[in-house]
Every structure is written in C-alpha cells, then in structure tokens.
C-alpha cells in the first residue's frame, strides 16, 4: 500500500513524503553503522480576558494599519529568535515577523498563560476584517479595479501570514505547557568540544507521555525504521548529512500530524466500542502486508530502488545491509490504519491547510537552515555542498520524537483555530 503524500511546497525538504510506518522503508546508516494517553486538553481558557493584564505587558507601542491597531514589540528577550537581546534564551527556532506574531512572541516569553486570550482576540479581528472585505463590492473599473484587487490580495496575504504565526505560537505554547523545550537552531559552528551539535537535554520520557499508548507503539516503529539497531544506543556519535537529518525531521512532523489524526478517530471509536472486529483478532494479515510493503522495489536493496519514500534517504555512510522493516511490530492502531481504504488513507495522510504546510517548511528551515540544493544535468542532487554534522543516536531520537510531537500539536491547533476562524478548505 502506497503512502499518501502531503508535499512541502517550494522547500529543499520537499523531497520527502509523510511516512505512516506501513510503507517501504530502509534502515539508514552512518559511517557503516546501521540506524535506520496523549493529552487532548487543549488548555485554552476562552473566558480569560487579556485586557486584565494589559498594564503588565509593557514594552510595546501601537500603530494603525488600516482598520486595525497592532502592538509592535521591540526587540527584547521575549522574541522567539536567538538574535534577541536580554537573556538570550531561545523559545523556538523560528522568528515571528508579522505584527501579530511579534505580539504573541512577547506574550509567550513574558506571560504565556495569556496567549489563549490574545489568540482569541486576534482571530476575532481577523474574522471581522475578512467579513468586512467580503461585503465590499468594488464599483470601480479599469485601473482602479486592478488596484482594488491588488490591495485585497495584499490584505489576504497578510492575514494568511498572521494566521500561520498564530498556529506556530500555539504549537510552541503546547510544548511550554508540557515543560518540553524545543531544540534550538542547529549550527555546526556552535557545538561542544567534540564537535557534537546535540547539546540539548534528553526529554524522551516527557515526549512519550504526550501520546496515547497506541500512538506511541507506532512512533516506536517509526523510530525503528529510522535508527534500526541503533535505537537503544544513545551515546555513539555519527557524522551525518545535515540535509538528510532535516528531511527526516520534516517527514516525522508530517507523520506525527497523520498519526494524531488517525489516533483521534481510533480513540473515539474505541470509547464508543465500535472498532472493527478484526482489531481484536488475528493480526497475521497486517504482518503480511508489512512484509510486502517493506520489500525493496525491483529486488534491489538500495537507495535508488525507492527514492520517494522518506526513510529511504541515504545518510553519510550509505544504507544498512540489515534488511527492510527491522523492528516493525503489529499493533492495534497499526491494524486499524491498515483497515482504511485507499481514499480514506490518502485523505488522512494529507495536510489540510497551506498554512500548516508553510509552518512545517519554515520551522524545519529555521532549525536546520536553508541548504543550497544543486541539481546536476543528470537530474540528481549534487551533495558536494552539503554539510555534515556530528550527532549522537540519542540526539537523533530526540529530534524525531520532537518532530512527531510537533506534527501532533499542529493537528490540534489547526483544528482549534479553524473552529474560530475557518480556513481549512478540505
């Protein structure tokens, strides 16, 4: 069964598709070594009034932009960017640029408990502006009509950018509520004395607790496909392509988005006791499909055999000879997913909004940088300018766990925001 795609648009990480751990996959290697109850309480207090704390949120002024007044936040330690002053603490790798995004950055850094009320306020204003614009009927013609349409296009783009940054701020807040710090931007120039870039603390236990037990079984399979027999090895350091790590991170975000979506449906049907009968019986059919899906195309065990699958990307050192599908285990949620027809599976594996796709792209690029991609005349990627980073397998596991959780949170906040300000088209 082929994995349905959700493509990152115009991104160097767009070569990947979301894996649902039931597609063909390979163990990945570095230097010849093989490595191949989610809390649904959104935590938003809708009755909280941000106006009660306006006197505490100093450090910004206001200016008019059309019919709306935005807070403009001065550069301070409250920024999500590492370039900010003050304490220099970094909340998230992506810097928010719109006036609304900067305002939410200030609140996240100083008064994160006020973010839900601030988001509610901004979404109401966005809805008001959109409604007013839709009621306006241009009476002009010719050049004036073209100008009117151009202004409307600019306003729509501004709203979309603000909406993206609202979604991102809400995802960051969910990590803060879970007491999990996001990994900062990865820069080989900023490493420890050994050259390792993964100086961040391990928070695997906290990340595990953010998923249901059934979902975490699937995440373990996902980790096994990526790390192979290095899954339990947290100390060994490998030199790996930075681009490939970024690609796996982006694919894992999309996987987490898909996984949360199907797990939400699974948990609902489980609570209503309407799960398919096959989930309580024989899982041999699932294992058979797993074995078929993990067989290399054309009988060749190489990266070239299946270049479109996310976990088949080659890492520095080549592909493991340990075979395909090592570590894949049947689970109830996996069996449930396998019961979907092709159309349902594709719908669930597709990211619903352009804003969510853009967030994945921008967050990944903020974390790993935007690599210089050169396509050779033969149509292959020239990796001569690709950077290699030193990272432990424990650091890789932490990256993947964060990425999957990021995707899960993204599904939650996208659904929440869409209930207040409709933007999801499918």
* CA distances (Å), origin 390, targets 141, 237, 242, 277, 313: 61, 6, 9, 48, 18
State pLDDT tens for residues 95-151. 999 999 999 999 999 999 999 999 999 999 999 999 988 887 666 677 778 888 888
Question: What is the C-alpha separation between 18 and 359, in angstroms, rounded?
Answer: 15
Q: What is the pLDDT of residue 185?
A: 93
- Gap between the Cα atoms of 366 and 12, Å rounded: 12
289: pLDDT strictly greater than 80: no
The residue that leads in pLDDT, 318 or 255, is: 255
Q: In the predicted model, is pLDDT for residue 29 greater than 70?
A: no
Q: Comparing C-alpha atoms, which of 126, 204, 188 is closest to residue 400?
A: 204
Instruction: Let me know how long the chain is.
Output: 426
Query: Rounded to whole angstroms, how far apart are CA atoms 223 and 326?
Result: 11
**How many C-beta atoms surround the C-beta of residue 173 within 10 A?**
24
What are the phi and psi torsion angles at 81 (to 5°)? Answer: -85, 145
Dihedral, CA of residue 67, residue 68, residue 72 and residue 77, to nearest 10 = -160
CB 28 within 8 A of CB 262: no
What phi and psi, each to the nearest 5 degrees, are found at residue 68? -115, 150
Q: How far is CA 346 from CA 3, 5, 10, 257, 337, in A?
A: 7, 7, 21, 13, 11
Q: Tell me: the pLDDT tens digits for 332-360?
A: 899 899 889 989 998 998 999 999 999 99
Q: What does pLDDT average to over the chain? A: 73
CA distances from 389 to 239, 273, 402 (A): 5, 48, 19
Q: Mind listing the pLDDT tens digit for each residue in 374-416?
A: 788 887 877 777 889 999 999 999 999 999 999 999 999 999 9
Residue that wins the pLDDT comparison between 131 and 288:
131
- In this predicted structure, what is the pLDDT of residue 232? 87
Cα pseudo-dihedral 86, 87, 91, 92, rounded to 10: 70
For 52-56, 138-142, 258-262, 309-313, which range has the lowest pLDDT when averaged over its residues?
309-313
Q: CA 33, CA 240: separation in Å to the nearest integer?
A: 11
Cβ contact 4:345 at 8 Å: yes
Tokens encoding 58: 């100093």
152 pLDDT more than 90: no
């Amino acid at each position: 069964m082929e994995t349905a795609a959700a493509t990152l648009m115009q991104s160097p990480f767009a070569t990947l598709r979301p894996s649902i751990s039931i597609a063909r996959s390979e163990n990945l290697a570095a230097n010849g070594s093989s490595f191949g109850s989610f809390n649904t309480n959104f935590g938003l207090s809708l009755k909280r009034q941000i106006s009660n704390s306006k006197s505490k949120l100093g450090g910004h002024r206001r200016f008019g932009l059309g019919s709306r007044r935005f807070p403009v936040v001065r550069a301070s330690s409250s920024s999500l960017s590492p370039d900010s002053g003050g304490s220099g603490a970094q909340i998230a790798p992506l810097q928010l640029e719109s006036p609304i995004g900067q305002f939410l950055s200030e609140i996240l850094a100083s008064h994160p408990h006020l973010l839900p009320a601030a988001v509610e306020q901004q979404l109401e204003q966005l809805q008001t502006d959109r409604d007013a614009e839709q009621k306006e009927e241009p009476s002009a013609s010719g050049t004036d009509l073209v100008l009117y349409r151009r202004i409307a296009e600019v306003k729509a783009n501004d709203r979309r950018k603000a909406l993206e940054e609202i979604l991102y701020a809400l995802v960051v807040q969910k990590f803060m509520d879970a007491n999990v710090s996001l990994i900062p931007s990865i820069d080989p120039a900023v490493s420890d004395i050994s050259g390792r870039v993964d100086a961040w603390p391990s928070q695997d236990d906290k990340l595990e607790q953010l998923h249901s037990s059934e979902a975490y079984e699937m995440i373990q399979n996902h980790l096994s496909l990526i790390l192979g027999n290095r899954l339990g090895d947290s100390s060994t350091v490998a030199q790996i392509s930075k681009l490939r790590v970024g690609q796996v991170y982006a694919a894992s975000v999309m996987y987490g988005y898909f996984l949360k979506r199907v797990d939400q449906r699974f948990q609902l049907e489980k609570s209503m006791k309407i799960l398919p009968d096959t989930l309580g019986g024989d899982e041999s059919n699932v294992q058979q499909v797993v074995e078929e899906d993990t067989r290399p195309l054309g009988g060749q065990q190489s990266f070239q055999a299946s270049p479109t699958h996310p976990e088949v990307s080659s890492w520095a050192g080549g592909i493991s000879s340990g075979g395909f599908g090592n570590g894949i285990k049947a689970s109830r949620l996996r069996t449930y997913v396998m019961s979907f027809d092709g159309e349902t599976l594709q719908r669930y594996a597709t990211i619903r909004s352009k804003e969510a796709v853009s967030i994945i792209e921008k967050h990944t690029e903020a974390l790993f940088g935007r690599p210089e991609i050169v396509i050779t005349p033969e149509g292959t990627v020239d990796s001569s300018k690709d950077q290699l980073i030193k990272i432990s397998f424990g650091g890789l596991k932490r990256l993947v766990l964060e990425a999957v959780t990021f995707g899960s949170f993204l599904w939650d906040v996208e659904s929440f925001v869409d209930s207040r300000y409709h933007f999801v088209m499918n």
